Every structure is written in structure tokens, then in C-alpha cells.
Structure 1
Amino acid sequence: MTPPEGVTSPEAYVFDAYGTLFDVHAAVRRHAGAMGPEAQAFSDLWRVKQLEYTWVTSLMGQYRDFSALTDEALDFCLARFPQVDKALRDPLLDAYRQLDCYREVPGVLASLKATGVKIAILSNGTPKMLNEAVEAAGLDGLIDDIFSVDVLQIYKTAPAAYALVTTAYDLAAPDIAFQSSNRWDIAGAKAFGFTCHWINRSGAPEEYASLQPDRVFSSLEGLVGSHAAETG
């Protein structure tokens, strides 16, 4: 069986890390009882400020690594929510370094890897952060390569970030399937030329109309059937 017209079989599956493989709200969830009723709002803001800081520093032509920006975003949240005990700062950061992966992740990665394709991460996270997260989640044997923007000192959605993968694998952009739960990341990857799968875990509305994903799934489980159909 050959793939349907216009559909190519990816030679590599590349995953965003935070929000796609790893649950960014898991750190706060572990300490929610001690944080009180504002825990979810705190977690949401932590993520928003973390991403905001990456874009602002990149636009200024400056760079502070993702670990530092994660710390600074947490400090902002602790100031914004003074009722949350500041003694939770270090436990929250420790928990962020060892986030839970989503339940389907190990099985999906194992299924894809068994077909012989390359499996990689492309993330704003530092190499240390990513290695710790992968190890903590037990994904070590399922990931072939970890690409961090730290080597470039500029964050996604800069085209150079996505080019880390095409250069390393010597592949054309459309031959790489890129998966992210972040719609802005999918827009950047689509503009670069990747085949893009938006993992819309939260049922968020569509945006970036001129940069549509190739497919939308509610979880990574959709990739397994999709890959089977494309490869026959």
C-alpha cells in the first residue's frame, strides 16, 4: 500500500517537550494542597510568563537560558500570589525538573520507534533540563536525539531553531513530522516547512490561519494510526 496522494511518510518524528511530552502543570499539581485554591491560576501564569520571557529576550537580541527564565517566571508568580508560601520555591523548581510525561507518551514513542524512524526532541529547554526530564520519565531508550536551542541562544519560533533538526539529519523539512501542543510553535514549524501535527490537548480554538497544521490530534495517540496509514 502506498501513502495517499500528497501524503508522505516522515523519516523522523520530532517532539516539542514542554506541554507535548511533559505536563507543565505537574509541578504545581504535586504541591497544590500546600498552595491553596489559587494553585491552577498560579500554574497557568507561570507557564505564560515563562514563554513571554523567551519571546521578549529573543526580540531584544538577548539570551538567558530556559532554566533561568523558568526561575524568574516562578519568582514573578510568587510575587503575584503572595498567599502562596515562598518556601515552596525550591520544591516547585525541583518538581519542574522532573515533570510527569503524559500517560500515552511511552507507548506512542515505542510504537513509532519500532518502525525505524528517528525520534527526537526539539525544545527551548536546556540540555540539562531535558536530559533530567527524559530520565525521570523513563524515556531514555525511546529518544534518539535531543536538540536544544541553547546552542543557538535564540528561542523558537526562530527558523534557526527548527533548522537544527534538518541540518543534523540532512533531511528536507517536509520529511520531518513535528509535534507540539503549542499552536504558536506549530505556526513557526509550519512556516519553516515541517509536516506539523498540533496536539491540541486542551481543545483550544484555531489561530494562525495562514499557517495551518497538517493534522490535529487531541493526544499523541493519533500519531500511531496516522503513521500506519502513511506507511501502509
Structure 2
Amino acid sequence: MAPVCFDMYGTLCDTGTAADKLADELAVSEALVAQLDTGWRTKQLQYSYQLGMMEEYRPFWQVTRDALDYTLSRFDLDPDQETRLRIMAGYEQLSPFPGAIDALETLRDAGHEVAVLSNGNPAMLETLAEDAGLAPHLDAVISADEVETYKPAPVVYENTADELDADIGDCRLVSANSWDVAGAGSAGMETVWINRLRDPFERIGPEPGATVADLAGAEAILR
């Protein structure tokens, strides 16, 4: 059976739950927490793209920390280092989306090799997979850290196929991030896009092989 790779951040686990740590640690309004949460995630992704284009590399934990520091500074907030570390811990304690464990279990029971493919560095991913209850249902956790660049660089997807000992065209990527789906498709993977927000697809990159509303929809197609 074909290997199935799931993106972690935004696909299996909800990055929006990092806002809980922001709310717990900062004495600010709900509206500002929402702005901080959105800004943090946006800057995190921007920095990963920027580093890839600059052919430089920092582990994703550092990228996430840099993005947090920038976002706090933008809103004139300067919590101490201990507070920043507690906020950062939110990225290791994200809530899984409904159906995440069921999808992994069903696909493994159907004979698929099931993996995570993520920009997160190994320590981040291992901690999160354990905390979210996903670890027992995964055959592999594959990090872009292995090739020291970030999705959507083709080498990240190519390395994943190598790690799974499979032809890249036989690998499936499931992601809620449309840019990730476009990157995987361009590299030669089959793709499933989880379009929770009913957005239009990207204008750059191949169309997804299938588009679904949630993880249950992805599992139904792939099993």
C-alpha cells in the first residue's frame, strides 16, 4: 500500500491553540491575543520561506522563537525569557483536530505506512506527537531538518520518499496548507488538500489530486 504522509502543523494539529498560551501568559485583551496568534504563525511561515530562498538554515524551534520575538516587539510587548519559553511550549502542546487519531488508525489498519512530514525539527515533532496522542499511530516522523531547508523545497519531499523507501509518485501527502500541497505535487507526490476554510487553491503549482473538508474526508478517500 502507498505511504501516506500527513503535515503536522495546521493539518493534524491546530496551530490556533497556541493562542491559549498567549492568553495565559500575557495580560492583554482577547482581540490582541488573536492578532498575536495570527502574526506569530504568519511570521513563522515567512521566515521559513525566507531562509529557504536565502539558502540558510535554522531549526524550526529557532524560527518559531524568532517569529514570536518579532511579533511581540511589533506590539510593544517585552515579556521576560521565562514567559517567552512558556509561550513557546504551546507549539509542543497543540490540540489535534477532530478525527486525527481515527484517520491514522484506519489508514494503518488498511495497510498503509503512515508518517508525519513536517518543517518542525525532530524534538518539537516528537514531543507534540506524544502530547497529542498521535505517536502510537505513526510509523515514522520525518522532518525537513534532515535536509536543512523547508517545504515547499522539492528536496524535502524527495527525502521523504527516500526515507520511506518508496518512489515519490507512490507517496501521498495530506495537508491543509495549500502551498504545501502545491509543493508536494510539483515534486511528484500525489496529494490530498484539506480545505477547511473553502478557500480557492493556489495559482502556482499542480492542483490537488483530491480536495476534502476535513481529516475524515481524507481518510475516506485514501483507505
Q: Is the 8 A contact 2:21 2:86 kept in 1?
A: no
Q: Distance in 2 between matches of 1:28 and 1:74?
A: 12
Pick aligned residue for 2:66 from 57, 68, 72: 72
**TM-superposed deviation, 1:193:** 1.0
Q: SS at 1:170's partner residue? A: coil
Q: Is the 8 A contact 2:157 2:184 kept in 1?
A: yes
Moved >6 Å (runs of 4+) = none
| Structure number with bigger Rg | 1
Identical columns (%): 34
Distance change (3 Å), C-alpha of 1:86 and 1:158: same
Partner of 1:11: 2
Q: Is the 8 A contact 1:187 1:208 kept in 2?
A: no
Q: Is the 8 A contact 1:189 1:196 kept in 2?
A: yes
Q: Distance in 1 between matches of 2:164 and 2:48?
A: 26
> Within 5 Å, which residues of 2 pair with 1:17-36?
17-32=8-23, 34-36=27-29
Larger relative helix fraction: 2
Partner of 2:173: 178
Q: Is the 8 A contact 2:174 2:218 kept in 1?
A: no
**TM-superposed deviation, 1:157:** 1.2
Total equivalences in the alignment: 218
Q: Is the 8 A contact 2:115 2:139 kept in 1?
A: yes
**TM-superposed deviation, 1:145:** 0.4
Distance change (3 Å), C-alpha of 1:150 and 1:210: closer
**TM-superposed deviation, 1:30:** 4.3
TM-score normalised according to structure 2 size: 0.92
5+ long unaligned stretches in structure 1: 1-9
Letter paired with 2:52: S
Q: Is the 8 A contact 2:196 2:214 kept in 1?
A: yes
Distance change (3 Å), C-alpha of 1:210 and 1:91: closer
Partner of 1:89: 84
Partner of 1:56: 50
CA-to-aligned-CA distance 1:137-191 (integer Å, 9 cap, x gap): 1111101001111121111111110012211223222211101111111111000
Partner of 2:98: 103
CA-to-aligned-CA distance 1:56-83 (integer Å, 9 cap, x gap): 111111111100010010011111122x
**TM-superposed deviation, 1:209:** 5.4
> Within 5 Å, which residues of 2 pair with 1:85-164?
86-87=79-80, 88-164=83-159
